[in-house]
Structure 1
Amino acid sequence: MESPAPTATTLGEEALAGFRERFGREPDGVWSAPGRVNLIGEHTDYNEGFVLPVAIDQRTWVAVGRTEDRVVRLVSTSSSASGETVIEHGLDDITPESVDGWSAYPLGTAWGVLQGAEGADLSAVGGFDAYFTSDVPLGAGLSSSAAIECALATALVDLWALDLSDDELLRATVQAENVIVGAPTGILDQSASLFSRAGHALFIDCRDSSREPIPFLATEAGLSLVVIDTRVKHAHAEGGYGDRRAACEEAARILGVPALRDVTAEALEAGRDRLDEVTYRRARHIVTEDERVQQTVALLRSEGPRSIGDLLLASHASMRDDFEISVPELDTAVEAAVSAGAIGARMTGGGFGGSAIALVDTDRVEMLTDAVRAAFAEADFKEPAIFVVAASDGARRESD
């Protein structure tokens, strides 16, 4: 297992101390938001389907202080990297062309919040200084970007005294990712980071954004949820993700429905001869994945987490074979985890790298860790990071 991550108290104190040192004053407060794993339901969000994420106890923290000018000053440090990233940008000059790299996430968030508040009383809006710390691994498919967006959005709504509804806050963070970052993601990541509840997964209907906490009592069932970070980095704003979304939209158009959410397995088979083979398989993943999410929710309600292993495995096979977003490292992680006794495992996140999850008896976590590391070494892959996560609360204010 990886060495213990910094504790929440440590990271919160680091954000507070970093703000004081960098800006020479006290912040107006400290906020945090979690990363997430997706228990099941991959790429169904932008198809107006169903997803079931779990917020994790790795979080991004931000200390924020208002300023009198219209300038945003950002400093970021991470437990996984040394040094600081420092950005200064005009609040009124944020466009997709004016930002790049890490800065797009917090600057896009400020832009999105202001877009969401259009027409409201903006007398409290001004520039701000922000200092970020995080233990959400970067590029691991655990929504480090959503954690940044949701922590800062929650802070800005507080500091700017904006009366945004939950759905307006969600829309602001998603717009940051879609418009400013340029990543064609759905609502899954930000919903999980904003609205999750400790000890629960979050069942989301991505058509109407409705949300329901579903008990995910892994510890009580003697199970641990293990993340296997392959250390193969991915980026949503690049190639494969957009190609998959375009294929899904094309399938929906050909089948005459608003989104693949509206296609049953029977209807897909009936329309198969109207789709090329690749588009058919992309659609089949979405249609069957929506079914698996709903089956998982029903089983968690009735029987608990020990009952969902086969659905996790079927989901991974669908992503590997039909949606083709897995990579050898993810397949190896899943296969090794199952060989070591996991009741279920699958890749999680957008694919093309990132992490897998495994649900395993707690007393087998060490055995699973050893098995995965051995399998990676045998395949000459980079050594993975492996750690246990727990279902966490969503974004919140931590201190004044």
Structure 2
Amino acid sequence: MRWFVPGRIEVLGKHTDYAGGRSLLAAVDTGHTVTATAREDRVLEVRSEVAHGTVTIDLDAGGARPADQADGHWGGYVRTVADRLEKNFPGRLRGADVTVTSTLPLAAGMSSSSALVVGLALALIDLSGIAADPVFTREITTTEQLGEYLGTAENGQSFGSLAGDRGVGTFGGSEDHTAMLCGRPGALVQYSFCPVRHERTIDVDDSLTFVVAVSGVEAAKTGAARDDYNRVSLAVSSILHRWQEATGRDDASLAEAVSSGPGAVRRLRELAADDDYLVGRLEQFLAESERIIPAAALALEEGDLEEFGRLVDESQAGAEDGLRNQVPETIALPRLARTVGAHAASAFGAGFGGSAWALVPADGAEQFAARWLDAYRAEFPGRADATTAITRPGGAARRLAS
């Protein structure tokens, strides 16, 4: 059996999902194709034509993870999926020969790692009949819940009665998995998280398209880059812990704390005030999730591209000043895109490298992409490996004919 899983563009929603906030998302028309064939034994052999390697897992063997399945290696994502499915549905997982091919750039901010998690999980769940397991049917009844479950597989948290495991070492949320499973062709989807809730769908006019520029700075979530990424997410945990200690409340997310009463935002600001980074992190979340995303979605829906662009500029500034997760290249790309004619542009993804998107007229997108890339390479001559791609919002993950 074969599954296609798209990458995603995080149009807005920078580090909001695991805090219970909002995101404005698009699945794209490129992604991973995962092909799985059952074996007689309980061995998983996964070969990636992108990572140029093979990972072998004996599902009946315990012990420590070998080097090619450790955090920091693509095999760690494979092992994470296998371990979580085996833990939650003991004995159901079948051995398989799996091949992963891709049209998605690696470590470019389009969530190739989460696409691998989703693709492997879908193929193995399908091959092994796990979706018919009574535990699965009790806990996972919607596609949104499946996205949330796969997010917890990656970050190690539990989902309902489905106990968590070690994950891949990053403390992220489920916006990527949700975008991949719930994206709609020709449209953006707005979701809030913890739990996942669909809020609106916004059609993207056929006269518009996205251009993605890959900066050439690898947006890896491993090693030191993982520590930088986790600092952003752990700041939310710190703010929430201070709130819980001070108020005695048990709000499960920052968004839940924000909405708990009329004085909540003021109190949260007081509690974060002694830490400059926490102040910036809180203000970025409040602006992005509570104000910018609802207003930007409305502006795009109404065709007010000038207002949409202004709000996206504000979101980009929040990433630079509040999250502090941008590098010179991903600061420059949105600025240069606006200079050469984009309606809106922003960096996206985990940060610390990766890509930026630009919304432009479809007629002339290729010329825009060339101008944008030329301007970027002129400012960063060492980034000759930077590339661009033109894409429209695509459909969700889907099973392909064998």
TM class, shorter-chain normalised? 0.7 to 0.9
Matched residue, 2:210: 225
Q: Is the 8 A contact 1:116 1:169 kept in 2?
A: no
Taking the aligned partners of 2:332 and 2:77, their CA distance within structure 1 comes to 32
Taking the aligned partners of 1:87 and 1:364, their CA distance within structure 2 comes to 43
Q: CA deviation at 1:194?
A: 1.6
| Identity rate, percent | 28
Q: CA deviation at 1:327?
A: 0.9
Q: What secondary structure does 1:64 align onto?
A: strand
- What RMSD over aligned residues (CA atoms) do the two structures have, in Å? 2.4
Taking the aligned partners of 1:263 and 1:171, their CA distance within structure 2 comes to 22
Q: 1:111 to 1:216 in 2, by over 3 A?
A: farther
Q: CA deviation at 1:268?
A: 3.9
Determine whether 1:198 maps to 2:185.
yes
Matched residue, 2:388: 386
The TM-score normalised by the length of structure 2 is 0.83
What residue ranges of structure 2 are gaps of 5+ in the alignment?
Answer: 156-165, 245-250
Matched residue, 2:283: 284
Q: Given the alignment, which residue of 51, 59, 79 partners 1:91? A: 59
Taking the aligned partners of 1:103 and 1:271, their CA distance within structure 2 comes to 40
Q: CA deviation at 1:94?
A: 7.0
For residues 248-267 of structure 1, the C-alpha deviation after alignment (integer angstroms, 9 at most, x for no partner) is 22122324454321327975
Taking the aligned partners of 1:313 and 1:104, their CA distance within structure 2 comes to 36
Matched residue, 1:272: 269
**1:1-400 counterparts in 2 under 5 A?**
29-78=1-50, 84-93=52-61, 97-98=65-66, 99-100=69-70, 101-117=73-89, 125-163=93-131, 164=136, 165=140, 166=143, 169-178=146-155, 179-212=166-199, 214-218=201-205, 220=206, 222-237=207-222, 238-256=226-244, 258-261=252-255, 262-263=257-258, 267-269=264-266, 271-274=268-271, 275=273, 276-290=275-289, 291-303=291-303, 307-365=307-365, 366-383=367-384, 384-400=386-402
Q: Is the 8 A contact 2:22 2:192 kept in 1?
A: yes
Taking the aligned partners of 1:61 and 1:168, their CA distance within structure 2 comes to 22
Taking the aligned partners of 2:286 and 2:100, their CA distance within structure 1 comes to 39
Q: 1:95 to 1:278 in 2, by over 3 A?
A: farther
Q: Is the 8 A contact 1:196 1:213 kept in 2?
A: no
AA of the residue aligned to 1:336: L
Q: CA deviation at 1:155?
A: 1.4
Q: 1:94 to 1:353 in 2, by over 3 A?
A: farther
Q: Is the 8 A contact 2:148 2:195 kept in 1?
A: no
Q: Comparing 96-105 with 342-351, which one deviates more in the overlay?
A: 96-105
Q: CA deviation at 1:305?
A: 6.0
AA of the residue aligned to 1:292: I
Taking the aligned partners of 2:263 and 2:370, their CA distance within structure 1 comes to 41
Q: 1:270 to 1:183 in 2, by over 3 A?
A: closer
Q: CA deviation at 1:147?
A: 1.3
Q: CA deviation at 1:269?
A: 4.9
Taking the aligned partners of 1:95 and 1:212, their CA distance within structure 2 comes to 44
Q: 1:50 to 1:171 in 2, by over 3 A?
A: closer
Taking the aligned partners of 2:371 and 2:62, their CA distance within structure 1 comes to 47
For residues 167-201 of structure 1, the C-alpha deviation after alignment (integer angstroms, 9 at most, x for no partner) is 55334422332233212110011111122121122
What residue ranges of structure 1 are gaps of 5+ in the alignment?
Answer: 1-28
Q: Comparing 365-374 with 32-41, which one deviates more in the overlay?
A: 365-374
Taking the aligned partners of 2:179 and 2:63, their CA distance within structure 1 comes to 26
Taking the aligned partners of 2:304 and 2:34, their CA distance within structure 1 comes to 35
Matched residue, 1:14: none
Q: 1:390 to 1:96 in 2, by over 3 A?
A: farther
Q: Comparing 174-183 with 151-160, which one deviates more in the overlay?
A: 174-183
How many residue pairs match? The answer is 362
| 4+ residue segments displaced more than 6 Å | none
The TM-score normalised by the length of structure 1 is 0.83
Taking the aligned partners of 2:84 and 2:44, their CA distance within structure 1 comes to 14
Q: Is the 8 A contact 1:336 1:372 kept in 2?
A: no
